[in-house]
Amino acid sequence: MIVSSYLDTKPIQELPGVVKREVITANDGAPHFCMRVFDVEPGSSTPSHEHPWEHEMYILSGRGLAVGEEGETEIAKDSVIFIPANEHHCIRNNGNKTLRLICVIPIVI
């Protein structure tokens, strides 16, 4: 078992205003899933993209929009998001505080 603080993980600047921390990966012995924590600053968004795997998100704090093929849905603390494989998507912070979220994806080999 590994127990740590997500702040112990080196932040990676994804885009201006978006920081990612890969808190659990294959390097930790997790063979199937990767857990990441994102901080999205006000006015910023994650990259608009798609990929051939599903993933799940949990909003820890802040508010914003989950943007997908069917439009935009408001999200806030305690929202959960399921994004199916191959759906074009991004997360946009339209609030005035940092939007922090957990994102779980499969480890693609």
CB 89 within 8 A of CB 83: yes
Q: Write down the domain spans for the chain.
A: 8-106
* Eight-state DSSP code of residue 69: T
Fold of 8-106: Jelly Rolls (2.60.120)
Tokens of 34: 């990767």
pLDDT tens by residue, 48-96? 999 999 999 999 999 999 999 999 999 999 999 999 999 999 999 999 9
pLDDT tens by residue, 4-59? 999 999 999 989 999 999 999 999 999 999 999 999 999 999 999 999 999 999 99
